[in-house]
Chain A
Amino acid sequence: KNEVEQSPQNLTAQEGEFITINCSYSVGISALHWLQQHPGGGIVSLFMLSSGKKKHGRLIATINIQEKHSSLHITASHPRDSAVYICAATGNQFYFGTGTSLTVIP
């Protein structure tokens, strides 16, 4: 049983495209995290949100608590955005999705 489901698993986009990655969760949460794992393996935290929307540069994260759904949007995508994006729902522990592998082609 996966408490967190991400879609799509893999995504290829042309540079400049608008990208959406989806995350659905089945547990009660206190926050939803979006992480980025670089091709070299390092993981960085992008967003932590419990309601509404957050924006950082070209990245936007939204969450709908009632629908238990979050989205990560990338505007004007660039090859350097190529990475695995991981959603994590947190209640009393972290529940991680399996990640969405994004490739942005020049």
Chain B
Amino acid sequence: NAGVTQTPKFQVLKTGQSMTLQCAQDMNHNSMYWYRQDPGMGLRLIYYSASEGTTDKGEVPNGYNVSRLNKREFSLRLESAAPSQTSVYFCASSEAAQGSSPLHFGNGTRLTVT
């Protein structure tokens, strides 16, 4: 029962470097999400994918790109990292579209951009 698997767990980048956060779920869920969590703020949606082949911007998409590679995998790419992107990133999935079924979260990626 892997659920949602997210890699890496920790990453340190220098300003301007790029990286991809990987996420995979084995629950046959249609919807997948990327959130960031910052101190004193609620989880904020970066991008989501309601189904395979579709992606949509969330609340804070600037500086990020996503790929829904197949039904299982949803990756988040930082093309040119900035210190403002220092955060904890969570991938999540749900059986149905936003809000109508429970979210299942990965364990998070703690990213520091120096």
Contact = CB atoms under 8 A, between A and B. Distances in A.
Interface string A42-63: 1111001000000000000000
B45 A93 contact: yes
B107 A42 contact: yes
A98 B41 contact: yes
B102 A45 contact: yes
Contact of A90 (B88, B90, B98, B108): B98
Interface residues of B, dominant DSSP? loop
B105 interface: yes
Interface of B: 40-45, 58, 88, 90, 92, 98-105, 107-108, 110
A92 interface: yes
B41 A45 contact: no
Given A94-B99, A98-B41, 4 more contacts: A42-B108, A90-B100, A91-B99, A92-B98
Contact of A97 (B42, B45, B110): B42
Given A86-B42, A98-B40, A92 B105 contact: no
Nearest to B33: A94
Given A30-B99, A31-B99, A41-B88, A94 B105 contact: no
Nearest to A6: B42
A21 interface: no
A35 interface: yes
A98 B98 contact: no
A48 B101 contact: yes
List 9 tightest A-B contacts by C-beta distance, closest first: A90-B99, A96-B42, A43-B105, A45-B102, A96-B43, A41-B108, A42-B107, A98-B42, A48-B102
A6 to B, nearest CB: 9
Given A93-B45, A94-B45, A45 B103 contact: yes
A33 B103 contact: yes
A4 interface: yes
A31 B42 contact: no
Contacts of A88: 43, 103
Contacts of A33: 102-103
